[in-house]
């Protein structure tokens, strides 16, 4: 199932590298993943009425979540030399 998706994007991964690509490699990656998860859970709990979070805090989480997502899904440029 994953082979077809990888073929579309032209990624040529060897066996063993396929899963390594989806595992956080650095502390920053792990921290970003945890923050995305915590913010999402906060939104769900607030929406269900379990928690009462001020709107200012929710606005801050939206901007933080967006910044993390934009950083990790940006198009990386290659250095021309």
Whether the pLDDT of residue 52 is over 50: the answer is yes
Whether the pLDDT of residue 25 is over 90: the answer is no
Domain boundaries of the chain, sorted by first residue: 24-81
Mean pLDDT, range 8-25, rounded to an integer: 60
> CA nearest 57: which of 70, 34, 35, 39?
39
Percent of the chain beyond pLDDT 70?
65
- Where is pLDDT greater, at 52 or 75? 52
């Amino acid at each position: 199932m994953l082979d077809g998706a990888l073929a579309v994007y032209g990624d040529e991964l060897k066996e063993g590298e396929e899963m390594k690509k989806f595992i956080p490699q650095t502390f920053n990656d792990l921290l970003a993943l945890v923050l995305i998860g915590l913010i999402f859970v906060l939104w769900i709990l607030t929406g269900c009425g379990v928690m009462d979070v001020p709107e200012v805090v929710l606005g801050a989480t939206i901007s933080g979540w967006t910044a993390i997502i934009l950083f990790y899904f940006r198009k990386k440029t290659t250095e021309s030399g």
